[in-house]
């Protein structure tokens, strides 16, 4: 049995078919959503599940992520995610108004967003934002709406040159955890941002052969 959820001014229907969760806009009124859900359930009952396309709109996806993040992470990390989602959503509305679904967020879109961030933010903040976006989109893989994370193919901004700082134990721990693929949100619960920033290039945002253009 499916259900109906309202996000902003749109009703979404969600249901399971072939063991997978489906979600799609159902209309601006509850009656429209109920009608569509009834039609979908009739298709599933009639063995037509294969004719139903699987996608999720961005507002629906972001709401699901924030609901899960609020339960999983600290209040500070949760607010970081909310701020990033708000900023990224605003950017998409301005620069990519044709993008409405999660699957439409491609590496090219993330690359464009990175360039946009670089114009107004320090390298550390811009890279940190991209890593948070990566964590958010990984949730799309968990739900089954993405097969791959577009951030995987985006290289972080080059770290500015400066004096080499002492390699502390916390720094080495950050490097090891990032190399092992630990998500940034979980890492921020263990270490502070400066420790992570010094090793930010070690995050798996490129292929396995990628290495930073400088020694640490």
CATH topology of domain 58-202: DNA polymerase; domain 1 (1.10.150)
Report the distance separating Cα 74 and Cα 37, nearest Å.
36
Is the confidence at residue 202, as pLDDT, over 50?
no
- Which residues of the chain does CATH 1.10.150 include? 58-202
Q: 136 exposed, middle or buried (CB, 10 Å; 0-12, 13-18, 19+)?
A: buried
Please report which confidence band the pLDDT of residue 216 belongs to, taking 50, 70 and 90 as the band edges: very low
pLDDT score at 119: 93
Is the confidence at residue 105, as pLDDT, over 90?
yes
> Residue for token digits 């701020």?
83
pLDDT score at 178: 64
Is the confidence at residue 62, as pLDDT, over 90?
yes
Please report which confidence band the pLDDT of residue 175 belongs to, taking 50, 70 and 90 as the band edges: low
Is the confidence at residue 212, as pLDDT, over 70?
no
pLDDT score at 116: 96
- Where b means 16+ CB within 10 Å and e means fewer, 4-40 reads beeeeebbbbbbebeeeebbbbbbeeeeebbebbeeb
118-162: per-residue pLDDT in tens?
999 988 889 889 989 999 999 988 887 887 899 988 888 887 666
């Amino acid at each position: 049995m499916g259900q109906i959820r309202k996000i902003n001014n749109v009703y979404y229907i969600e249901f399971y078919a072939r063991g997978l969760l489906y979600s799609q806009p159902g209309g601006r009124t509850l009656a429209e959503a109920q009608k569509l859900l009834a039609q979908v359930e009739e298709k599933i009952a009639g063995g037509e599940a294969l004719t139903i396309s699987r996608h999720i709109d961005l507002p629906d996806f972001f709401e699901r992520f924030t609901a899960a993040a609020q339960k999983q992470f600290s209040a500070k990390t949760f607010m970081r995610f909310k701020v990033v989602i708000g900023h990224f959503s605003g950017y998409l509305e301005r620069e990519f108004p044709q993008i409405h679904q999660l699957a439409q967020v491609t590496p090219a879109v993330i690359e464009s967003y990175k360039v946009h961030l670089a114009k107004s933010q320090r390298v550390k903040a811009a890279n940190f934002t991209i890593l948070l976006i990566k964590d958010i989109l990984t949730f799309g893989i968990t739900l089954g709406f993405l097969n791959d994370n577009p951030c995987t193919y985006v290289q972080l901004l080059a770290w500015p040159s400066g004096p080499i700082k002492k390699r502390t134990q916390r720094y080495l721990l950050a490097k090891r955890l990032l190399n092992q693929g630990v998500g940034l949100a979980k890492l921020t619960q263990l270490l502070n941002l400066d420790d992570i920033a010094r090793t930010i290039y070690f995050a798996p945002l490129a292929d396995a052969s990628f290495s930073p253009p400088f020694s640490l």
